[in-house]
Amino acid sequence: MPKLTSELSLAIESLQKGKLVAFPTETVFGLGGDATNQEAIKRIFKVKGRPSNRPLILHVPNLETVKKIVLDWSLNESKLAKKFWPGPLTLILKNGNLISQSAVAGKKTVAIRIPSHPFALSMLRSFSEIGSGIVAAPSANRFGYVSTTNARDVEFSLQNYLDETDVIVNSSPRNNCQFGLESTIVDCTTNSPKILRVGVIKKSEIESCIGKTVDVGLTEDGKIDYPGTCSSHYSPKTKFKVMTRAQIELNLSKLCEGGKTFLWYFQKPVKTSQNLTAEVAPSTAPEYGRQLYSKLNNLDRRGLNLIIFEEPPTGEDWNAICDRLEKAKSR
Ligand code: AMP
Ligand code: MG
């Protein structure tokens, strides 16, 4: 059993010993280990059940550390870092030779961010005084399943895979994940930066920061298999559907026939069913994003036959949410 603690010192001690720490960030909980320690990196892959060809995002306390890791630092990344760091933006840059090959899955690139969450940032700063200060951290959940945004969901997902020398940082109002969705990833290794994963920071914000339009898609070679970009991800174990209002109205009775059904709606359906529990979903994108993963994790433990979410509105604010729902429903 991993230790549940809110002590910064215990978290840092674990990192220094090459153990793992599940810690809050402003996006989701990360499963962190010292990026310069091969053993720690190996365990992250093992505990998550993550294929070894899927590179990890590195979390660092400051720009000085970023510049030690990467080969080039040019205008686009410099503008983006100035505007969005610390914060929910990950930059893909050319890898120097500081970081172990297993952390970057043998790629010539690294994914880096400086998180803004107070616990994460303090942890990284202190760890840089006594260790590398570089923490590789994918989301703290089993591979392919729903990301976690609180300590309880991390425990449910990973406690059987972590051991007593690992740490889960306890949730408290202070340790909330402010956004609840993964970072926006921007590839800066080419002349025209590209968004590899939509996230809290919007495309329009990236564009106005660097003063040019950016594409959303895969990297130039298109071959690299990115975790956040494979079609099934973020999925609950329970059968899960995202449906329009009209589809719900039309099919609700039939959908509920199979057993206990949960519906997260924006507008209450006219019909109901004995098997149905329906709740209103948050109407703003920030609040919906904050609640999405904890809602899915919670629903996934209720022994339901089916989870239905009403399709969210369109519009840039909802892009990251729609992206995650699209992948979550395609298990
Ligand atoms: P995840 O940790 O599953 O939230 O996703 C990590 C994401 O970071 C992946 O989807 C990749 O797009 C990106 N990434 C991580 N490491 C690298 C790397 N070394 N080179 C390029 N992209 C990376
Ligand atoms: Mg993940």
| CATH label of the domain that carries residue 50 | 3.90.870.10
pLDDT reading at 222 higher than 70: no
From first CA to last CA, the distance across the chain in angstroms is 29
C-alpha span between 93 and 58 (Å, rounded): 11
Q: Same structural domain for residues 197 and 54?
A: yes
Q: Same structural domain for residues 250 and 204?
A: no
Domain of residue 121: give its range.
4-216
C-alpha span between 197 and 181 (Å, rounded): 11
60 lines ligand 1 (CB under 6 A): no
What CATH number should be reported for the domain holding residue 283? 3.40.50
User: Residue whose CA is closest, atom 23 of ligand 1?
Assistant: 111
Ligand 2 centroid–CA 184 distance in Å is 13
Q: Same structural domain for residues 135 and 179?
A: yes
Q: Same structural domain for residues 139 and 91?
A: yes
Q: Same structural domain for residues 161 and 280?
A: no
Does residue 231 lie within any of the structural domains? no
Ligand 2 centroid–CA 250 distance in Å is 34
pLDDT band at 232 (very low <50, low <70, confident <90, very high): low
Strand ranges inside 131-289, DSSP E? 135-136, 167-169, 184-187, 194-197, 215-216, 240-243, 261-265, 276-280
Q: Tell me the pLDDT tens digit for each residue of 23-39.
A: 999 999 999 999 999 99
Q: Ligand 1 pocket test: which of 47, 89, 108, 226 has the largest number of ligand atoms within 8 Å of its C-beta?
A: 226
- DSSP designation for 144: T
pLDDT band at 221 (very low <50, low <70, confident <90, very high): very low
Q: Same structural domain for residues 168 and 252?
A: no
Q: DSSP for 53-70? A: TS--EEE-SSHHHHHHHB
Does residue 226 lie within any of the structural domains? no
Specify the pLDDT at position 175.
78
Does residue 15 lie within any of the structural domains? yes
70 lines ligand 1 (CB under 6 A): no
Specify the pLDDT at position 237.
95
| Nearest listed ligand to the Cα of residue 234 | 2
Q: Tell me the pLDDT tens digit for each residue of 116-167.
A: 999 999 999 999 999 999 999 999 999 999 999 999 999 999 999 999 999 9
32 lines ligand 1 (CB under 6 A): no
pLDDT band at 225 (very low <50, low <70, confident <90, very high): very low
Does residue 313 lie within any of the structural domains? yes
Q: Same structural domain for residues 319 and 188?
A: no
Report how many domains make up the chain.
2
111 lines ligand 1 (CB under 6 A): yes
- The whole-number average pLDDT for the span 42-58 is 96
Peptide bond into 86 cis (omega under 30): yes
Q: Same structural domain for residues 54 and 133?
A: yes
- The whole-number average pLDDT for the span 241-246 is 97
Residue of 168, 162, 170 lying closest to 43 (CA atoms): 162
